[in-house]
Structure 1
Amino acid sequence: MWFWGSAGFASGAFKDAVSHHGSSKQDFFTEGHLQDLFDALHAFDTIDDRNRDAAVEILRQIAELLVWGERHKNEAFFDIFCEQNILSYFVDIVSQPRVANAVKVQLLQTLSILVQNTHRKTAIYYLFSNNYINTLLRTPYDFSNEELVAWYVSFIKGLSLLVNHDTVKLFLNKRAPSFPVFSEAVKFFVHRDSMVRTHVRTVTLSIFKIREPVVEEFLVRHSAFFSHIACYLRAQWAERCRGLRACRRLSPRYHASTTTSTSSRSAASASPCGRDTPGTAACVAALKSGFSECEEFLFYIQDIFGIGVEAYNTLLVERLLLYTYLPLLVGCLCRGAPRETTVRRFACKTIRQSAACSQDSSLQTQRSRDVIVDSPCASTTEVVGSQFVRRRGSHPHLSTYFSICI
Structure 2
Amino acid sequence: MNNRLTRLAAVGLAAGLSLATLAGCGGNQATPGASTPAGGSAAKIALLLPETKTTRYETFDKPYFEEALKTECANCTLIYNNANQDAARQQQQAESAMTQGAKVLVLDAVDGKSAVTIVNQAKAKGVKVIAYDRFVAGSDYYVSFDNQQVGKLQGTTLVDILHKAGKTSGDLVMVNGAPTDANAADFKKGAHSVLDTAGFTIKAEYDTPDWSPDKAQAFMESQLTTVKPNLVGVYAANDGTAGGVITALKAGGVSPIVPVTGQDAELTGIQRILAGDQAMTVYKAIKPQAQDAAKNAALLAAGKPAASSSTQEGVPATLLTPVAVTKTNIKDTVVKDGFYTVAQICTTQYADACKAAGLQ
Question: Which is bigger in relative contact order (C-alpha 8 A, separation at least 6)?
Answer: 2
Greater helix share, structure number: 1
Q: TM-score, normalised by structure 1?
A: 0.24
Larger radius of gyration: 1
Q: Normalised by the size of structure 2, how large is the TM-score?
A: 0.26
Q: Report the structure, 1 or 2, having the larger strand content.
A: 2
